[in-house]
Chains A and B, each alone.
Chain A
Amino acid sequence: MRVLSSCILSLLIHGLVFALVLLGPFQGSKSAIDLDKPVYEVELVRAPAPEPESKPEQEVSKGEKASQEEPGERPEAAKARQSPARDSGAEKIPRKSRAPERERKKAEKSADTQKRRTREKPEAPRTPTGDAVLDKALQDLQKDVESEREQDRTVSRELENLREQRTAAERGEAASAQREKLYASLVERRIKQNWRFPPVGGDIDLVAVVRVRVEPDGSVAEYTLVSGSGRSDYNDSVLRAIEETERLPEPPRDLDTISITFNLRELRR
């Protein structure tokens, strides 16, 4: 009897321990990613670096030829824009077109003054040759590369800032949550690109859910239709979208399953 009761007791304790350990951690980390604003906030982090900062550098490196031509061009362009408005003859229209022209002129003026300030540096001799054009093209390319690097730098800077702000434990969680959000938006975008379906009239919404298992290199290992929409052509289209997205970006280290919900209707802004 003693053996039996001790067996039962040990089973109970095991069961309790297992249950606590297995279910407990899940309470906190089940994250239903909401692709509304929070995700778009993440996207803002990846927005290009603000231009005014880089502009003065560009102005100086361009060569004075370019910046001198533009102020000359603009008043003429503005004049050209004005005369068609007068010729149109319609009384109410000139009122409208004059307003945007005033704004344009203001923008031109401020750009001009900015340029004049930067021109204080010594001028380089101007020789309009093919080489100069090539150089300019190369410089533009360099700028693009630099701005992209800037973007990456900004992203990593932001991530670092986030990391610095939190405590060790929090940092770990926040970073992984951030990474997951980023990854979710990348997955959403890539699959959406490959999803084709004709415009359906009326207010009906169709929803289908597909579970996808992703390899560490991002390739789709397997996928299953978890819940259908009731329409086979719709189900076909969502499975097609995944089939044609052969490869997803590399998932974060501890992620291998994605559950994708396909909603027919666009979000109402």
Chain B
Amino acid sequence: MRFPCSLILHAVTCCVALMLVVPGKAAAEELEVSIHGPGQQKVNMYLAPASSLSEENATQTPPLAAELYSAVEGNLAFLPFVNRISSEEILGGAEVGGVKAGDIDFKRFAMGKVDYLLTFGFRRREEGRVQAELRVFRTRSAELFVGRGFVINSPKQGSVAANRFSAAFMEGLTGVAGFFRSRLAFVRIREETRELCSSTPQGDSLKSHVRGQRHIMSPAWSWDGQRIAYVRLAGDRHELNVWDEEDGVRRMTLSGNTIISPAYHPDGRLAVSADPRGNPDIYFLEGDKLGRSVVQNWAIDISPGFDSSGRWMSFVSSRLGNPHIFLKDLEKNRVERISYEGDYNTSAAISPSGQYIAYSRLTDEGHRIFIHDRLKDTTRQLTHGPGDDEDPTWGPDEYFLAFVSNRSGRYRAYIGSRHGGGVKEVETGPGAVKGPDWSPELR
């Protein structure tokens, strides 16, 4: 008889004990917090000065190496998401013992909130050549993030090396490298002549493809980066011209009087705005002649642009009385309106993935670039002048955009990020710049 009593008493005391203990434990639950998106879309980076790879302490950096170093500096300066830390900001000094992991005290940099550390080592080689090794480390884990070695014999080679390294670094960071592997085509205007030119988005390696023209405009890259189509006004008629890397210039006259805004479809066909029916409509070319129409009506329809799938085409139409931006689903043959605000929206450009459509809206203060996000269904103003900002074109990474602006007094080309930051002028030399077009990633 004692057995069950003692059992029950035991159980009860256990329960009471647990009751006292458990509320404390029940309260010590986990608070769950969710963070969506980093507070700062950037990384902090420190660039250690160039140092010699060989045993002899070379205090003088050979010019080729110095130029390569400053080319990499310049490239990184173009990336708005790389925040360069100066040596003063690092507690304990920014001395780096060497270029390899074993020589570096990463803790100091990690403490100084530096995420990435670049080292640059050089060595003189035979016949004036220079060997350079570039390493980027993640300071927190002391791991090598990107490492490349180059042997260069000229500043041109140095610039190629700088671009390759910057592309590898950017690809490691963001997954895309288009910025450093693409070119910008544009029309340069000097006095009375115009030229068709292209350069890197930073303005390097400028080439003049077609010279001595009276009036040319609207260059458009093909998706393989081999050709540039453009419009030429010759005397009393318009001509569609295509410059080919290998074959030179091919000229075409089309039916109608006016040729506007050529653009390549990813499948290789060339689309253009022409007016055989008395007002500009959008056609695909078949051979050297106008083929099927894509958009045809009484209104002005110009400026076609295609996403990389080839399904979506952005364009400008005056079908509502004044120019607005529209999007056509070429698969389902449906047209959707994109711009609703303003009275004058032109220069439509759809991004490679099709998610964004950039365009130029005339506001009270002048033309401004706007971006419509199709996924979020929002439209945001990207640029704020002063002057007129026109002709946006997307980089292959969809992060950068190029456009022209006369904010400095005459039209020049500028690069900026999709978020509006990091606007920098593209140094293209003397003359005004019009009609930029950004190539796809070139191999």
Contacts and interface: CB of A to CB of B under 8 A. Distances in A.
A and B touch in the complex (CB under 8 A): yes
Interface of A: 6, 9-10, 13-14, 17-18, 21-22, 25-26, 29-35, 85, 88, 90, 92-93, 96-97, 180, 183-184, 187-188, 191-202, 204, 211, 232-233, 236-237, 239-241, 244, 251, 254-269
Interface in B127-146: 138, 140-141, 143, 145
Contacts of B399: 199, 201
Given A26-B26, A184-B31, A199-B81, A18 B14 contact: yes
Given A254-B28, A256-B28, A35 B34 contact: yes
20 contacts: A13-B7, A14-B10, A18-B18, A21-B18, A22-B18, A25-B22, A92-B343, A92-B344, A93-B343, A183-B31, A184-B31, A187-B31, A196-B40, A196-B44, A199-B417, A199-B419, A200-B174, A202-B176, A255-B27, A261-B35
Contact of A88 (B31, B33, B40, B364): B364
Given A21-B19, A192-B38, A263-B34, A240 B81 contact: no
B55 interface: no
Residue of A96, A196, A251 with most partner-chain B CB within 10 A? A196
Interface in B5-43: 7, 10-11, 14-15, 18-19, 22-43
Contact of B364 (A13, A85, A237): A85
A-B residue pairs, 4 tightest by C-beta: A254-B27, A266-B37, A197-B38, A192-B39
B366 to A, nearest CB: 10
Contacts, number: 178
B18 A188 contact: no
A170 to B, nearest CB: 17
Contacts of B29: 26, 29-31, 257
Query: What band does the interface of chain B fall in when counting residues whose beta carbon is under 8 Å from A?
Result: 35 or more
B18 A33 contact: no
Contacts of A18: 14, 18
A145 to B, nearest CB: 29
Contacts of A35: 33-34, 36
Contacts of B419: 199
A33 B27 CA distance: 15
Contact of A197 (B3, B41, B82, B364): B41
Nearest to A36: B34
B7 A9 contact: yes
A121 to B, nearest CB: 41
Given A195-B39, A197-B40, A201-B175, 12 more contacts: A17-B15, A25-B22, A25-B26, A96-B343, A196-B44, A197-B43, A200-B175, A233-B172, A258-B31, A259-B33, A261-B35, A267-B37
B375 interface: yes
A232 B143 contact: yes
B343 A255 contact: no
Interface in B356-397: 362, 364, 375-376, 378, 397
A13 B37 contact: no
B115 interface: yes
Contacts of B34: 33-35, 188, 260-261, 263
B35 A195 contact: yes
Contact of B397 (A34, A193, A201): A201
Given A17-B18, A257-B28, A258-B31, A195 B38 contact: yes
Contacts of B31: 33, 180, 183-184, 187, 251, 255, 257-259
B397 A262 contact: no
B173 interface: yes
Nearest to B143: A232
Contacts of A258: 30-33
A17 B362 CA distance: 75
Contact of A262 (B35, B40, B115): B35
B163 to A, nearest CB: 19
A237 B115 contact: yes
B307 interface: no
A264 to B, nearest CB: 7
Given A21-B19, A240-B140, A193 B39 contact: yes
Contacts of A201: 174-176, 397-399
Contact of B115 (A90, A96, A196): A196
B11 A17 contact: yes
Contact of A22 (B22, B30, B40, B143): B22
B113 interface: yes
Residue of A85, A200, A201, A202 with most partner-chain B CB within 10 A? A201
